Structure 1
Amino acid sequence: MTTADRPATSRLRVPTYRAADIRDAEAPLLASGVPLMARAAHALAEIAAARLAAATVPRALVLAGRGDNGGDALFAGAELAAAGARVDVVLVGGDAHGAGLAAAVAAGTRRVDLSALDPGDYGIVLDGMIGLGGGGSLRGGARDAAAALAAEKAPGHRILAVDLPSGLDPDTGEGDELVPAAHETITFGAVKAGLARGRGPALSGRITLVDIGLGPGLTHAAPAGEAEIAEVVRA
């Protein structure tokens, strides 16, 4: 059974964690070669494929930043394109996660300039602009892309936040007025504290936690609080 086929579950309450604790839990797995990004991107792609199949406009947009958050989005976009979906990519920082971009190009995605972005052309938008290092603000191309999303008069697209809405502080949930409000947040490894604090609950939408194997590394970390989520998916 794929993540897209899983039946809906009742709401769950799970612990939330600070960004530093999540990074500490990831570190030994990454050092030993565990493919955390591949796990995250595959689960994201399956969820995105299900949402795209239900969309009125059969095209997906990937908004990708330069870091690993953009890499997750690009690898997911590559998987969507390889399965036959029409996928466009905007590199909001002018550069991108190298392997993620290479995979997206090889799979047949189309590169679109930020200046030509029209959110109305898409059924779903993967918001992979800024991840754990967001710091509560949007700058440069990420800010311009967020403004384009906010300016859409009759949005028909569904925004899927990759790990957390871009620009939302992962610990406090603070962020400026242009942080894109997600219909869904697909968060990896653990629910970030900021999704349940500050502006987080208003901006995160439906939360799905993708279990990529961080559990053992979080056993000694003190939870920052709790969050209500829709589902846990094991990658």
Structure 2
Amino acid sequence: MPKLGYTAAQIRAAEAPLLAKGVPLMIRAAQALADHVTSVLPEPSASRVLVLAGAGDNGGDACWAASFLAEAGVQVNVVPVMGRLSPEPEAGARESGARILTEAKPVDAAQLVADADVIIDGMLGIGAGGTAAGGSPALRGTARDWALAVHAALTENPHPLVIAVDLPSGIDPDSGEVAEPEAVIPADLTVTFIGIKAGCLQGEGAKLAGKVWLEPIGASQHLLGVPPAVTVS
């Protein structure tokens, strides 16, 4: 069965009617993500998950997933890679027992990676859009510093499984192009929502996304009749 890939703009258009109605798409995405993480942990209560969370919706998905994982007994560390988190998801993670490492620095990445069984990459999603549409999907500032440090740490210690939220942070969601390969964390699994991002099916993005798993979260029907940007057999 061919895989259909959609642009960031197409995904945003598909989710807009549901968001306008107050449908909790972020919670649905986070629960699906947490379920995938739990499924690869042999014993959740003895497992450790490192969450790299940005300040936008992608980081919100990751923080809510952290809260669900903590409630399941997983030891969860959340790093606010941009120095802040979305307030409500952060509060949910804290209340559930996840640790928010506000003082952590990129120099700590090697130890955090070594201590983790799973790393969740929730730094940057489709919010910036693709380059061709005027977006800027490359990581910058402290998020870039964290990506570089974690990438390097994984080169030395490839033990933790990496799960990307929607798409690996730093790849172009539309073309799959990568401005700085060392600042992208290669994923073993990408859990994507509503529709597969075109950038996960082509270019360098296809190599970095690992296995791509689509979670419709009750919104994929809004892509019916929408011509995909890319089709991969």
Same fold by TM (over 0.5)? yes
Find the counterpart in structure 2 of residue 156 from structure 1.
Answer: 159
2:105 is aligned with 1:114: yes
2:216 is aligned with 1:194: no
Question: How many angstroms apart in 2 are the aligned matches of 1:215 and 1:86?
Answer: 32
Stretches of structure 2 that go unaligned for 5 or more consecutive residues are: 129-135
Find the counterpart in structure 2 of residue 147 from structure 1.
Answer: 148
Question: How many angstroms apart in 2 are the aligned matches of 1:141 and 1:188?
Answer: 26
2:56 is aligned with 1:67: yes
Describe the SS at the equivalent of 1:133.
coil
Tell me by how many angstroms 1:227 deviates: 4.0
Amino acid at match of 1:78: S
Stretches of structure 1 that go unaligned for 5 or more consecutive residues are: 1-11, 229-235
CA contact (8 A) 1:190 1:209 kept: yes
Question: How many angstroms apart in 2 are the aligned matches of 1:53 and 1:83?
Answer: 13
Question: Which deviations, in whole Å up to 9, do the C-alpha atoms of 1:97-136 show, x marking residues without a partner?
Answer: 1111000000111122134332111010000000003433
Tell me by how many angstroms 1:145 deviates: 1.3
Kindly report the root-mean-square deviation, in angstroms, between the aligned alpha carbons of the 2 structures: 1.6
Tell me by how many angstroms 1:63 deviates: 0.4
Percent identical: 45
* Residue range with higher mean Cα deviation, 200-209 or 218-227: 218-227
Question: How many angstroms apart in 1 are the aligned matches of 2:210 and 2:174?
Answer: 17
Find the counterpart in structure 1 of residue 173 from structure 2.
Answer: 170
Tell me by how many angstroms 1:214 deviates: 2.2
2:17 is aligned with 1:28: yes
Question: How many angstroms apart in 1 are the aligned matches of 2:197 and 2:98?
Answer: 30
Question: How many angstroms apart in 2 are the aligned matches of 1:203 and 1:107?
Answer: 31
The count of corresponding residues between Structure 1 and Structure 2 is 216
Amino acid at match of 2:95: A
Tell me by how many angstroms 1:219 deviates: 2.2
